[in-house]
Amino acid sequence: MTSPGIKQIDEVYVKIQGEKRFYGWLAYDPKNKYIIDFVIGRRDDDTSEGLFKKLKRFRGKVKLVLIDGYLGYEKFISSYLGIKCRKPITGVINKSRFCRKTGKFYTYGLFGVSGKSVEEVIRELGIGEEITTSLIENLNSFIRDSVQYLVRRTKRLARELEWVFRALSGYFFYHNFVKPHWSLSVRSSKNWIVDGATPGMACGITCAPLSLYEVLTFHQL
């Protein structure tokens, strides 16, 4: 897999029978629509750090990180994604602070970088014009709709955290390697997909979407 120049990091709430405070953290490549990795656990630094440990293979190669206002991210971005004195440009959108004057959430940059500087990098990388985590938040909504244990107000709660881990692993494999992504694919004049491309193809991991047969026979990537 080529190193993603952009990473978005966000969390999704996970409810287990008898327990209520579990979260899943996702790292997402918004340009290639690829789910890079994830962890599940309690909402604390140990779980959050577990995700960044998985991402340290990209140390020094990430140009931009987009996060929400969760304070636990800052030290891990510096420790696991930075190199020597150089840290990735990091944009933050604080969803708990809304500016009535601008009609937007409060946004800023970490490590002494201004919000305007972050927005310039975002425009340069071609993913929008301002700091936003909307892409990964939309993905979180799709995950909730697709994984029965995460559907809002569902009565089908998982009894063990491992059940959720397996369900998410399966969905992420399907998202990355099986289902063509609309924005990555060649489309007709009516916007129908005519030549499907998956996130795995966009990252250079596979050369074609995997079929259900290949999935069931444990096709090796």
Q: In whole angstroms, what is the distance from residue 83 CA to residue 81 CA?
A: 7
pLDDT at 21: 74
pLDDT at 176: 94
Q: Where are the beta strands (DSSP E) in the chain?
A: 6-16, 19-29, 34-42, 64-68, 89-99, 104-109, 186-187, 193-195
Scanning the chain, the segments in alpha helix (DSSP H) are: 45-55, 73-76, 115-125, 134-146, 161-173, 199-202, 212-216
155: which residues sit within 8 A by CB, 6+ positions away?
Answer: none
Q: Which class would CATH give 6-161?
A: alpha beta
Task: Please report, for the chain, the start and end positions of each structural domain, with discontinuous segments joined by +.
Answer: 6-161
DSSP β-bridge partners for residue 6:
64
The residues of the chain scoring below 50 in pLDDT are none
Helix or strand holding residue 218 (H, E): none
pLDDT at 128: 63
pLDDT tens digits, residue range 168-191? 898 899 999 999 998 889 998 888
| Selection from 56, 19, 54 nearest residue 37 by Cα | 54
Please give the model's pTM, rounded to 2 decimal places. 0.82
pLDDT at 151: 62
